[in-house]
């Protein structure tokens, strides 16, 4: 190749890169493109974290606008957001926990100590605040998988008809709540 | 009043930088010597002003002036004084000011130590540095002033420094890293000045080398300490996470390493000229790109710096002007550059050329891995994530030919080499390396996987090859002392740098292969076994620090019934942010680290504990330090102190 043309190559590559960097600046990297947005909450039948006799299905949740918060005691950010979520509960927001157990892997036939976990969850919630109406235990991660959960914490906003309106990855704080959740709730109120 | 004085000092500094950019460049263009002569005093003047502004920021942090937003957000009155000083670069605004401090210091140093340069070149180098200074100062003054006030409503107490950053490693890590980043702007300025002058000769390479070497050594040190900090502070025993922010520092390092080697070839043999210039531009461009990635928030990172699109836009524009401008200049000038040296395939030139290829490919892998998720999404192809396995696998593949080459190349001569004698010698070294590796690994471990064996053998090979080259160099002289004397500091530095890398390879390999960990629930008096060590849990003590409280798990470590050490693994709750922090207890040793982290309190007085046994992990940072030391040793070489041409070149 001609030396002159070759000399321009780095410049051209850089210009190409700049276009993407510019676009990236106005996109939000935390926004995942979830397939579930606007769709119904997937059906499930899972036990309560504190009481395995009690089982929850998606139908139990119909009729309320609620947040489904994926969390675990192993996840520091989840613990950090408990305080703010508790405040939200005090303001009347319904929050349902989807407990995601990380250490346990059913494929390896691990032993699972539900009592130790309950104790740990109790301690944690009494210390940092308990925002949850109840917690669903998703031991096999089936619901998490259906929801497209990629980590914890993640939070879904679901309306009365069970449609998923928002999928937020990362913690919920005042800024996120105001900029993301409040407008969505506002919109919902206007529709009704 | 005092913060405003700091701000005003920065305004003045920017005015001087503006003159520093205009006067010498215009003077060099028109041949006006008086304008060019103004450059050094302007450079020193702006440096003093920036230092003054920085001193002001440290002063207001130490005196807890919470009317200043930066202090209120990153410090608190209970913070120990040394962490208050650290907090001046613990946040975005302060970090950029620290960058400015470094930038102005390097500029002043160049002004003072470039007296032997012809005026046209000296003026242009300083002019380019002045331009970079203006860019960063404008940013600080316009978008990221650390002196902004929170009036009339200001808090009575600050928000405290992020507990993660309250660590001795964090005191020195950012300044060292910035010394490196900004130091590369000097190599960059030399390259641009040479392009502007149109004279890309060996002298340019010769002047640029010590500056590049210094910047690279600081960068090496910064990365090494950053890795050590992550290991000691993050509490899960990892040392490199391929996080975008880490990648942002690794990319300039890889390119700067290539640049060092390529500069050697350009200086000694007049080859690879245009390539070397491109590397110099690329090294600093990647520093700027890294800053953009880190500060604009376009990529999710655990380092989670505050993000702001306006700031991102400014840095991107600055990046576009600086990098785009210099690459355009490069494109128009490169056709006139001709390399003069001739060489055969088996020669040191080709060795260095291959070295460059590997390092640049490694850089591209990191760049792609870092940016591809974003590009993929912008193209509308959905979200993907490129994680640790991708980088690990790519680097594991690349290191093999690179390490083999690294053993071979230093023995090659410039221009050409007869292969005959070398092949026999290499055969002996390979055999010796295999024997040493086998003895080492099979005597220490029951199981040795082929991959582990190969990677360890590579590290041994580098060491043995380096040592045998040294032996040969010495034995060709009349006496050992004579031989040692003949070797220049540059040669020693090369040995040290290469052996340092061998240490890193060995450490990464053995730590990855033979680290073991256990998560246990223990009550006081319980004993857990891990490898040959016994860990006896003595109980948990309450602790109270200046700005935190918490628990310390006390564990006695025994080996064959004898007490080795007592470890205190802490779990701290910081008063202001109410943040939990795991402060791991580490018993460091040359051959292994014992690493202990305290987990949650369980029922009936039991605690969860994580115990790690990490063999040879310390060699990683030892290797990093050796590599950095090599860079600093070169600076002491005669060639850079006096203008003589003695000493054997490495």
Tokens 């690179």 locate to: B402
Q: Is residue A116 assigned to a domain? A: yes
Whether residue B58 has pLDDT greater than 80: yes
| pLDDT for position B310 | 77
Give the distance from CA B399 to its chain's centroid: 19
Whether residue B646 has pLDDT greater than 50: no
Which tens digit of pLDDT belongs to each residue from B336-358?
777 777 787 778 888 899 999 99
Q: Which two tokens stand for residue B12?
A: 């003045």
Three-state SS at A88: helix
Three-state SS at B533: strand
Q: Which two tokens stand for residue B282?
A: 């690329």
A174: domain CATH number is 3.40.30.10
- B332 CB neighbours in chain A (<8 A) are 7
Whether residue B106 has pLDDT greater than 90: yes
Q: b/e for B310-342, b at 16 or more Cβ within 10 A?
A: ebbbbbbebbbebbbebbbbbbebbeebebebe
| pLDDT for position A28 | 54
| pLDDT for position B308 | 65
With CA atoms as reference, the chain B residue closest to A20 would be B375
Which of B277, B285, B293, B298 would best serve as a mutation to test chain A binding (most A beta carbons within 10 A)?
B298
Three-state SS at B100: helix
Min Cα distance B36 → chain A (Å) is: 30
Size of interface A-B (CB pairs under 8 A): 86
- A3 CB neighbours in chain B (<8 A) are 334-335
- As beta bridge partners, residue B567 has B555
Closest CA to B220 of B262, B191, B249, B188: B249
- What average pLDDT does chain A have? 82
Q: How far apart are CA B585 and CA B594, in angstroms?
A: 8
Which of the listed ranges A83-87, A99-103, B483-487 does the model predict with the highest average pLDDT? Answer: A83-87
Q: Which residue has the higher pLDDT, B165 or A177?
A: A177
Whether residue A35 has pLDDT greater than 60: no
Whether residue B379 has pLDDT greater than 60: yes
Tell if the CB–CB gap between A11 and B331 is shorter than 8 Å: yes
Whether residue A67 has pLDDT greater than 60: yes
Q: Is residue A16 assigned to a domain? A: no
| pLDDT for position A176 | 84
| pLDDT for position B43 | 96
Any residues with CB less than 8 A from the CB of B547 and at least 6 apart, and which? B76, B78, B79, B80, B160, B574, B575, B576
Any residues with CB less than 8 A from the CB of A12 and at least 6 apart, and which? none
Tell if the CB–CB gap between A10 and B324 is shorter than 8 Å: no
Min Cα distance A32 → chain B (Å) is: 6
Q: How far apart are CA B72 and CA B66, in angstroms?
A: 5
Which tens digit of pLDDT belongs to each residue from B538-560?
989 888 888 888 889 999 999 98
CA distances from B427 to B407, B421, B464, B639 (A): 12, 10, 12, 35
Tell if the CB–CB gap between A30 and B299 is shorter than 8 Å: no
DSSP A32-46: ---TTTTSBPPP-EE
The answer to whether residues B368 and B423 touch, using CB atoms and an 8 Å cutoff, is no
What is the percent of chain B where pLDDT is above 70?
94
Three-state SS at A115: helix
Domain that holds residue A113: 35-191
Q: Out of B298, B320, B374, whose CB is closest to A18? A: B320
Q: Out of A14, A76, A119, whose CB is closest to B323? A: A14
With CA atoms as reference, the chain A residue closest to B372 would be A20
Tell if the CB–CB gap between B297 and A33 is shorter than 8 Å: no
Chain B residues with CB-CB distance to A under 8 A? 274, 278, 281-282, 285, 292, 296-300, 309, 312-313, 316, 319-320, 323-324, 327-328, 330-335, 371, 373-375, 377-378, 382-383, 578-580, 600-603
Q: How far apart are CA B20 and CA B73, in angstroms?
A: 34
Q: How far apart are CA B140 and CA B289, in angstroms?
A: 18
With CA atoms as reference, the chain A residue closest to B278 would be A10
Whether residue B206 has pLDDT greater than 80: yes
- B281 CB neighbours in chain A (<8 A) are 10
Mean pLDDT of A149-176: 85
| pLDDT for position B182 | 92
Q: How far apart are CA B434 and CA B426, in angstroms?
A: 12
With CA atoms as reference, the chain A residue closest to B600 would be A120
Which tens digit of pLDDT belongs to each residue from B431-451?
999 999 999 999 989 889 999
Q: Is residue A1 assigned to a domain? A: no
Q: Which two tokens stand for residue B137?
A: 């100062």
Q: How far apart are CA B376 and CA B48, in angstroms?
A: 46
Parallel, antiparallel or unpaired: strands A55-57 and A134-137 = unpaired
- B573 CB neighbours in chain A (<8 A) are none
Q: Which residue has the higher pLDDT, B591 or A110?
A: B591
Confidence bin at B235 (pLDDT 50/70/90): low
Any residues with CB less than 8 A from the CB of B430 and at least 6 apart, and which? B461
| pLDDT for position B460 | 96
Q: How far apart are CA A84 and CA A68, in angstroms?
A: 15
Mean pLDDT of B605-626: 92
Tell if the CB–CB gap between A32 and B383 is shorter than 8 Å: yes
- A167 CB neighbours in chain B (<8 A) are none
Tell if the CB–CB gap between B382 and A73 is shorter than 8 Å: no
| pLDDT for position B631 | 93
| pLDDT for position B643 | 43
| pLDDT for position B269 | 85
Whether residue B530 has pLDDT greater than 60: yes
Quote the number of domains for chain A. 1
Q: b/e for B108-146, b at 16 or more Cβ within 10 A?
A: bbbbeebeebebbbbbbbbbbbbbbbbbbbebbeebbbb
With CA atoms as reference, the chain B residue closest to A35 would be B382
Confidence bin at B642 (pLDDT 50/70/90): very low
Which tens digit of pLDDT belongs to each residue from B450-468?
999 999 999 999 999 999 9
Mean pLDDT of B324-334: 91
Task: Give the Cβ contact number of residue B149 at 10 Å.
Answer: 15
What is the percent of chain A where pLDDT is above 90?
10
Chain A residues with CB-CB distance to B under 8 A? 3-4, 6-8, 10-11, 14-15, 17-18, 20-27, 29-30, 32-33, 73, 76, 79-80, 83, 116, 119-120, 123
| pLDDT for position B383 | 64
Three-state SS at B557: strand
The backbone torsions φ and ψ at residue B539, rounded to the nearest 5 degrees and listed phi first, read 135, -175
Mean pLDDT of B184-209: 89
Tell if the CB–CB gap between B377 and A33 is shorter than 8 Å: yes
Tell if the CB–CB gap between A18 and B331 is shorter than 8 Å: no
Give the distance from CA B487 to its chain's centroid: 28
| pLDDT for position A132 | 92
- What average pLDDT does chain B have? 87
| pLDDT for position A126 | 86
Tell if the CB–CB gap between B602 and A29 is shorter than 8 Å: no
Min Cα distance A7 → chain B (Å) is: 4
Confidence bin at A36 (pLDDT 50/70/90): low
| pLDDT for position A144 | 81
Which tens digit of pLDDT belongs to each residue from B266-310?
888 888 888 999 999 999 999 999 888 877 666 655 454 545 677
């Amino acid at each position: 190749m001609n030396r002159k043309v070759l000399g321009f190559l780095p410049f051209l590559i850089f210009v190409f890169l700049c276009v993407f960097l510019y676009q990236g600046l106005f996109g939000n990297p935390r926004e995942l493109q979830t397939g579930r947005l606007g769709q119904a909450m997937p059906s499930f039948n899972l036990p309560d974290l504190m009481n395995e006799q009690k089982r929850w299905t998606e139908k139990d949740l119909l009729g309320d606008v609620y947040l489904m918060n994926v969390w675990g005691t192993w996840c520091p950010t989840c613990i950090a957001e408990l305080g703010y979520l508790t405040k939200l509960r005090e303001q009347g927001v319904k929050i349902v926990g989807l407990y995601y157990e990380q250490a346990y892997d059913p494929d390896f036939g691990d032993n699972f100590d539900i009592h130790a976990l309950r104790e740990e969850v109790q301690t944690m919630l009494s210390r940092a605040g308990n925002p949850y109406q109840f917690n669903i235990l998703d031991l096999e991660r089936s619901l998490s998988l259906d929801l497209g959960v990629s980590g914890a914490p993640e939070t879904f906003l679901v309306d009365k008809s069970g449609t998923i309106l928002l999928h937020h990855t990362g913690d919920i704080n005042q800024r996120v709540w105001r900029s993301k959740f409040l407008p969505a709730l506002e919109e919902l109120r206007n529709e009704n | 009043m005092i913060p405003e004085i700091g701000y005003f000092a920065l305004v003045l500094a920017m005015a001087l930088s503006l003159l520093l950019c205009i006067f010498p460049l215009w003077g060099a263009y028109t041949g006006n010597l008086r304008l060019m002569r103004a450059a050094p005093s302007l450079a020193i003047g702006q440096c003093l002003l920036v230092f003054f502004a920085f001193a002001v920021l440290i002063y207001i942090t130490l005196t807890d002036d919470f009317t200043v937003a930066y202090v209120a957000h990153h410090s608190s009155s209970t913070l120990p004084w040394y962490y208050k000083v650290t907090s001046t670069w613990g946040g975005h605004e302060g970090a950029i000011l620290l960058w400015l401090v470094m930038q102005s210091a390097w500029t002043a140093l160049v002004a003072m130590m470039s007296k032997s340069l012809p005026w046209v070149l000296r003026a242009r180098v300083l002019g380019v540095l002045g331009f970079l200074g203006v860019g960063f100062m404008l940013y600080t003054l316009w978008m990221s002033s650390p002196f902004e006030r929170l009036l009339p409503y200001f808090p009575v107490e600050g928000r405290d420094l992020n507990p993660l950053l309250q660590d001795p490693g964090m005191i020195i890590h950012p300044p060292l890293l910035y010394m490196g980043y900004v130091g590369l702007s000097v190599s960059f300025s030399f390259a641009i000045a040479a392009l502007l002058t149109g004279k890309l000769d060996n002298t340019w390479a010769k002047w640029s080398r010590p500056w590049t070497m210094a910047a690279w050594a600081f960068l090496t040190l910064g990365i090494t300490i950053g890795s050590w900090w992550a290991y000691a502070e993050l509490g899960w025993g990892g040392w490199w996470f391929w996080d975008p922010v880490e990648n942002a520092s690794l990319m300039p390092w890889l390119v700067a390493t290539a640049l060092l080697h390529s500069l050697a070839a350009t200086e000694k043999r007049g080859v690879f000229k245009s390539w070397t210039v491109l590397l110099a531009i690329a090294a600093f461009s990647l520093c700027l790109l890294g800053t953009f990635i880190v500060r604009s928030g376009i990529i999710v990172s655990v380092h989670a710096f505050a993000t702001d699109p306006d700031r991102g836009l400014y840095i991107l524009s600055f990046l576009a002007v600086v990098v785009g401008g210099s690459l355009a200049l490069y494109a128009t000038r490169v056709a006139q550059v001709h390399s003069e040296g001739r060489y055969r395939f088996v020669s040191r030139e080709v060795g260095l050329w291959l070295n460059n290829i590997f390092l640049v490919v490694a850089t591209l892998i990191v760049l792609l891995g870092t940016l591809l998720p974003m590009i993929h999404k912008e193209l509308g192809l959905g979200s993907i994530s490129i994680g640790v396995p991708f980088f690990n696998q790519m680097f594991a593949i690349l290191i093999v030919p690179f390490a083999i080459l690294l053993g071979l190349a230093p023995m090659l001569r410039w221009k050409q080499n007869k292969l005959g004698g070398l092949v026999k010698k290499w055969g002996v070294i390979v055999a010796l390396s295999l024997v040493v590796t086998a003895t080492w690994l099979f005597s220490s471990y029951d199981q040795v996987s082929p991959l582990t064996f190969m990677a360890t053998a590579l590290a041994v090979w580098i060491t043995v090859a380096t040592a045998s080259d040294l032996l040969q160099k010495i034995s060709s002289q009349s006496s050992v002392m004579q031989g040692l004397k003949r070797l220049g500091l540059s040669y020693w530095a090369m040995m040290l740098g290469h052996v340092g890398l061998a240490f890193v390879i060995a450490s990464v390999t053995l730590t990855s292969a033979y680290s073991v960990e256990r998560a246990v629930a223990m009550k006081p008096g319980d004993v857990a076994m891990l490898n040959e060590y016994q860990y006896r849990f003595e109980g948990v003590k309450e602790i109270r620090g200046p700005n935190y409280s918490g628990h310390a798990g006390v564990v006695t470590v025994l080996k064959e019934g004898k007490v080795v050490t007592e470890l205190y693994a802490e779990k701290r709750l910081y008063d202001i942010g109410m943040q939990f922090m795991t402060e791991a207890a580490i018993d460091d040793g040359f051959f292994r680290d014992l690493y202990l982290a305290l987990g949650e309190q369980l029922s009936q007085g039991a605690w969860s504990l994580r115990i790690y046994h990490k063999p040879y992990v310390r060699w990683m940072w030892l290797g990093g330090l050796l590599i950095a030391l090599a860079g600093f040793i070169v600076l002491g070489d005669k060639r850079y102190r006096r203008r003589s041409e003695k000493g054997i070149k490495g």
